[in-house]
Amino acid sequence: MLPCRVCLSYRPRGSAALRAELDAAFFHIYLPARRDGSWKPCAALTADFPTPRHAVDYIMDTFPIVRRKDEAAYGSYRTKERILAAYDAMLNHLP
């Protein structure tokens, strides 16, 4: 086992960005989109959401405690904003 001084240090700012990027990556895995943002074949969700991004937006709104804490601390739902920004950035790099 490595001594603690060799382990990666905890960086709250960097870890929040990394978590947002990981969440966005999982949304891309489970909500398949084309490069133009439209659905890949996925009939189950297309009836409720025009695009995968709309589904991500809806899913993020189902976390009221996170929203409330973000709004209290930052004045906006920062977690959702970061995840959607990372999602959009990844969308531009789809094959």
**Cα–Cα distances in angstroms (integers) from residue 72 to residues 27, 49, 54, 67, 85, in the given order:** 26, 29, 25, 9, 21
CA separation for the pair 33, 61 (Å, rounded): 20
How high is the pLDDT of residue 42?
67
pTM: 0.76
Phi, psi of 50 (to 5 degrees): -60, -35
How high is the pLDDT of residue 2?
42
How high is the pLDDT of residue 68?
97
Is residue 67 a contact partner of residue 11, using CB atoms and an 8 Å limit? no
pLDDT band for position 17 (50/70/90)? confident
User: Average model confidence (pLDDT) for the chain?
Assistant: 82
Best CA proximity match to 35, nearest among 53, 48, 23: 53
4, pLDDT greater than 50: no
Residue 39 in 3-state DSSP? strand
